[in-house]
Amino acid sequence: MEKDENQLEKFKELLNKFNNFLPKPMYEPTYLELCEYPWNRLEEICSRIFAFFFDSRNPHGFRTLFFNSLFDAYREKYPVEVENFDKKNIMHTRSVCAETEIYTEKGNRIDLLLTTDCLKVCIENKIDAPAYNDFNDYYDYVKNESECYDLHTVCILFALCQKAEYENVNPNFKTIYYREFLEKLKQNLGNYLTQCNSKYLPVLTDFILFLDRKGGYMSDFSKDEKDFFLNDENNRIIEQLIERRNLFLEKQRVENNQHIDKIKNLLALKENATFCEFMKKEIWINPRDKRRYFYLKGCFEENNPKYALGIEAGFNKKKFDISLSVWQGDGDRAREALYKKLIDGKIDVIKTTHDLSQNEKWSIIVQSIDENDDKQIVDGLYDVYKKTEKIVNEAKVENKANEAM
């Protein structure tokens, strides 16, 4: 017992530490996330967006921001490689041409090819694909092109996520990760804001956020949060906490399901065969933990869309909630309006919800009972059943009267 109490105190202490990082800003999806582009096309899409911003001739107005930021990251990571470059011309580059999907003589495709006054830059863009490319072919093609114009050749593997397989893929290719490039891009961005085309600034900032998220740069994490999650002792306690939580949820699920069976058996004691048959045991899969839970459900006039009205009941946080539900097939709100009027004053309403995931299901919780009071649960179900039956019959009478007028 003492060990369990000590463990619980550690859990509480850890949660208190984590709570110091809250609240978090509301998650705002980027444009590319909203479009839900398939992952296997993302590499091609990003290459096209990169090409637009790398090409200084395009109307974005950021001029050589992308090229300068990439070269800053390259020069910082591989200083020896740039010793023989014409640094003066590189630093004063004013024009960059960007091309995508360039075919070599062997039929291989170069993702992105940049041309400046003094450089040819071959970029192999990697989102998640393995590095199985013919890098020698890429290099030979760009080297030959460069020699025709007396340009230096630079070859870069430009990768979204850091992976061992993306390191040292070829003697002629150097690896730059998105996060390294984005760090320089953000540092340099302020120097270009006054002359950029404001139309494309939101596009750029949205693209940067998208790459940050997908690249695992953890830009949404503070230094304290990073330190918190990189701490081995914290992770050990978190793993214990998750393990205990999963054991608790599974135990709770089993007990709740057994309790539903017990309630279902107790319904038979009401000596009302129709009522007992009406409330059937159903399965609900919790979207958060994917566990299967039992609950009770019945529906008056189930096959009649004009009058269908359901009763749903189950355990929820130490309570047994009983709800009335209207499934608004095809957006039909007439039935909801009818029952709202008829229920008013006849049944107390604790809470009203609209569940858009279930075809706009409208529900009202009409009783919330202590989970341990089996007698009150059974009596509550029977009371709601009788009142609901009466309300459905009243709805039929009212509709027929209205139709006769």
pLDDT of residue 368: 92
Q: Distance (Å, rounded) from C-alpha 286 to C-alpha 266?
A: 26
Residue 145 has what DSSP assignment? H
Q: What are phi and psi of 121, to 5 degrees?
A: -115, 115
What distances in angstroms separate CA 372 from CA 249, 320, 365, one per listed residue?
A: 18, 9, 19
Choose among 272, 282, 350: nearest CA to 310.
282
pLDDT of residue 1: 45
Write down the pTM of the prediction.
Answer: 0.51
Region of residue 331 (left: phi > 0; alpha: psi -120 to 50; beta: else): left
SS percent in the chain: helix, strand, coil, step 5? 50, 20, 30
Residues 6+ positions from 84 with CB-CB distance below 8 Å: 152
Q: Distance (Å, rounded) from C-alpha 299 to C-alpha 389?
A: 10
Place of tokens 């998650």: 27
Choose among 258, 270, 281: nearest CA to 384.
270
Q: Domain residue spans in the chain?
A: 2-12+16-22+225-239, 26-218, 244-404
Count the neighbouring beta carbons within 10 Å of the beta carbon of residue 323: 24
User: Would you give the distance in Å from CA 263 to the centre of its chain?
Assistant: 38
- Low-confidence residues in the chain, pLDDT < 50: 1, 217-219, 330-331, 356-358
Q: What are phi and psi of 46, to 5 degrees?
A: -65, -40
Give kind and range of the element (H or E) at residue 66: helix 65-77
Token pair recorded at residue 62: 């950021």
Residue type, 317: K
User: Would you give the distance in Å from CA 391 to the centre of its chain?
Assistant: 42
Q: Distance (Å, rounded) from C-alpha 280 to C-alpha 299?
A: 10
pLDDT of residue 328: 62
